[in-house]
Structure 1
Amino acid sequence: MKVDIFDFHLPEELIAQVPLKNRTDSRLMVVNKETGDIKHEVFKNISEYLREGDCLVLNDTKVLPARLFGVKNDTGAKIEVLLLKQTEGDRWETLVKPAKRVKEGTEIEFGDGLLKAVCTGTSDHGGRVLEFTYEGIFYEVLDQLGEMPLPPYIKEQLEDRDRYQTVYAREPGSAAAPTAGLHFTEELLEEIKAKGVHVTFITLHVGLGTFRPVSVDNVEGHDMHSEFYIMTEGTAELLNEVRRNGGRIITVGTTSTRTLETIASANDGKFKAGSGWTSIFIYPGYEFKGIDGMITNFHLPKSTLIMLVSALAGRENILRAYQTAVEERYRFFSFGDAMFII
């Protein structure tokens, strides 16, 4: 399957650079995955498309202020560090710029020595392993010194970094936000619950691999990145009960989708509590075992994310919907508008 068949023309001005003032004011395109029919809505009305007995599954990961700016101890050269994954204790896999200046043994200081790091090795794709030293609690130091790692296609400065967090974020560990959840407010979630819809959470820590372009010609040759997930006993039991009672399981975002499909695929379509790493790659031809619908944003051309939504709704339906979104001037990507595939 050629990667090029997931391409589409996207005018650059449709890439949303800043979030809307009100989260629920985003537009919502409702797509019927069987027929391809499209409705244009506003996100605040999404509860009209949910039914009593359905279950909404959200990813409660919290984005770390993972971009740090420091200097080399020996030369004073400026170094930018992006935290990717905690491996053991205070060791992290990172990306550094300029990488050629950071070799094993290199010492870096951040915030006039409030945080220090030494390079202990290399990792995949030219990354560096750094071991940090500090006083107090690492996440508090990081919160003081770090910046939000916005995606590379966002050029504007984010005035309120909480707008790159979901309102229900609580488990620190992501290098990027599960952006489909940015449209929800506490009030909207309460409205959804009042309708008799179950709301539950999983955790999947989003890595920067989510932005890595597909660099092969054939879909099957792409090497998917690995991300850590957690499903609690309570969530597993609820999802199994909803399935037994005939309710729909609706995921919020591709991260929740990949987590549920990883677990359901390993357990004959059932859900089981646990944690682990997933590198599941979902593209057309995949048979879904865990979900019935998905709320998501509009994704990059030729990305693994547009392949995933194409697997759920059909490539022709999705490309037609995306063409409509371009014609109707929908806002794309992280701070953009939403799609509900039902």
Structure 2
Amino acid sequence: MLKKDFWYDLPKELIAQEPADPRDSARMMVLDRKSSKIEHAVFHDLPRYLEKGDLLVVNNSKVLPARLLGTKVPTGAVCELLLLRQVKGDTWECLARPGKRMQVGTKVSFGDGTLTAVVDKTLPDGNKFVTFTYDTETLYEKLDEFGKMPLPPYITKQLEDQSQYQTVYAKELGSAAAPTAGLHFTPELMDTLRAGGVNIAEVTLHVGLGTFRPVSEDDIEDHQMHSEWYSVSQETADLINATRAAGHRVIAVGTTSCRTLEAVWARYGKIIPCSGNTDIFIYPGVELHAIDGLITNFHLPESTLIMLISAFYGYEKTMAAYRVAVEERYRFFSFGDAMLIR
């Protein structure tokens, strides 16, 4: 299939600039895989569409406030680093701006100067290996002090509260972007689901900045996915396998949870406790084995995410649902409305 097959027209005003308040007041499009029926609901209606014994699998990765604005030493020129992944110790792979002016040996100071960085190496794609020095026990403390959330480029409004870009169950630091399908959950909604007999299991997949990178090849099969680290615990593997054995549904919350489970299945032929890196690319023609349902947001045209949805729900039905979403004025992308495919 071609990249252009996944294009749809989206009015700019439908790109959500802030999350729904309260979170579970976002709208939810409900898609039935068997009947192709489309329903329009609100996210706090989710318990109506789930059954006792169903399992939600959420991604508990926590977003790093990884965007650092600083100045070059000694010139004072303004620059920016975005931490992508920890290489070793205090050395991180970073996206640097302006990249061409931050050559090896460049020193950058942040805030009051108690956090500094030196560029060690420029990678072929222009990213940098950077080593940080700080006066606290961990770098994370300095990120909490000086860092900002690395919001997607289509969100131009500044956050009033950085927690708006974290799920309520986030705990494992390491993502450069939020697993946004989970942003709709509130503690109260999760309590309601548990009280109704719906189980909740956690996986970890640290979302990389590559999630925002566009597909550049015309033929989507030529696209190379970015690699991301994931982990599945013994407890989660046991819950998933017990749910399937009992004839209940495993529903992934977000494409990251879906990719985690499908990566494990692709490697081992079943769900087992494990961790590693995955660059799995799911698009129409790739069969999904590990999930029975999916909660997700509305994704960018021509993105790998809308391709994943098309693999699970069907290409024609997915593109038709997106046209309905535009007509019905749903809110799109990271802070937008939700879709439940069951």
TM-score (ref. length: structure 2): 0.98
Corresponding residue number in structure 2 for 1:33: 33
Corresponding residue number in structure 1 for 2:261: 260
3-state SS of paired residue (2:235): helix
Provide the identity percentage: 56
Alignment of 1:286-325 (within 5 A): 286-325=286-325
Corresponding residue number in structure 2 for 1:133: 133
> Letter of the aligned partner of 1:170 in structure 2?
K
Q: Is 1:44 equivalent to 2:21 in the alignment? A: no
Alignment of 1:188-267 (within 5 A): 188-267=189-268
State the distance in 2 between where 1:336 and 1:226 align. Answer: 26
> Letter of the aligned partner of 2:323 in structure 1?
Q
> Letter of the aligned partner of 1:293 in structure 2?
G
Q: CA deviation at 1:72?
A: 1.0
> Letter of the aligned partner of 1:174 in structure 2?
S
Deviations 1:168-196, CA, capped at 9 Å, x for gaps: 10011111000000000011011111111
> Letter of the aligned partner of 1:89 in structure 2?
G
> Letter of the aligned partner of 1:85 in structure 2?
R
Corresponding residue number in structure 2 for 1:157: 158
State the distance in 2 between where 1:257 and 1:338 align. Answer: 15
State the distance in 1 between where 2:124 and 2:208 align. Answer: 13
Alpha carbons 1:33, 1:317 under 8 Å: kept: no
Q: CA deviation at 1:197?
A: 1.1
Corresponding residue number in structure 2 for 1:274: 274
- State which drifts further: 165-174 or 105-114: 105-114
3-state SS of paired residue (1:52): coil
The runs of at least 4 consecutive aligned structure 1 residues that moved more than 3 Å come to none
3-state SS of paired residue (1:150): coil
Q: CA deviation at 1:112?
A: 2.4
Alpha carbons 1:69, 1:81 under 8 Å: kept: yes
State the distance in 1 between where 2:171 and 2:197 align. Answer: 24
3-state SS of paired residue (2:129): strand
Q: CA deviation at 1:88?
A: 0.5
> Letter of the aligned partner of 1:210 in structure 2?
T
For structure 2, the 5+ residue unaligned runs are: none
Deviations 1:215-253, CA, capped at 9 Å, x for gaps: 110000111000010111111111111111111100000
Q: CA deviation at 1:284?
A: 0.4
State the distance in 2 between where 1:128 and 1:5 align. Answer: 34
> Letter of the aligned partner of 2:111 in structure 1?
G
Corresponding residue number in structure 1 for 2:98: 98
State the distance in 2 between where 1:76 and 1:282 align. Answer: 45
State the distance in 1 between where 2:265 and 2:54 align. Answer: 18
Q: Are residues 124 and 243 of structure 1, via their aligned partners in 2, closer, same or farther at CA, if it must alter by over 3 Å?
A: farther
State the distance in 2 between where 1:256 and 1:185 align. Answer: 18
State the distance in 2 between where 1:251 and 1:35 align. Answer: 20
3-state SS of paired residue (2:125): helix
State the distance in 2 between where 1:315 and 1:37 align. Answer: 15
3-state SS of paired residue (1:301): coil
Alpha carbons 1:164, 1:182 under 8 Å: kept: yes
Alpha carbons 1:93, 1:123 under 8 Å: kept: no
Q: CA deviation at 1:35?
A: 3.0
State the distance in 2 between where 1:20 and 1:286 align. Answer: 33
Alpha carbons 1:61, 1:203 under 8 Å: kept: yes
Alpha carbons 1:36, 1:313 under 8 Å: kept: no
> Letter of the aligned partner of 1:271 in structure 2?
I
Alpha carbons 1:282, 1:311 under 8 Å: kept: yes
3-state SS of paired residue (1:256): helix
Alpha carbons 1:34, 1:313 under 8 Å: kept: no
Alpha carbons 1:90, 1:133 under 8 Å: kept: yes
Corresponding residue number in structure 2 for 1:168: 169
The RMSD of aligned alpha carbons is 0.8
Q: Is 1:148 equivalent to 2:143 in the alignment? A: no
May I ask how many residue pairs the two structures share in their alignment? 341
Corresponding residue number in structure 2 for 1:187: 188
Q: Is 1:107 equivalent to 2:107 in the alignment? A: yes
State the distance in 1 between where 2:123 and 2:63 align. Answer: 22
> Letter of the aligned partner of 1:39 in structure 2?
E
Q: CA deviation at 1:124?
A: 4.7
3-state SS of paired residue (1:125): coil
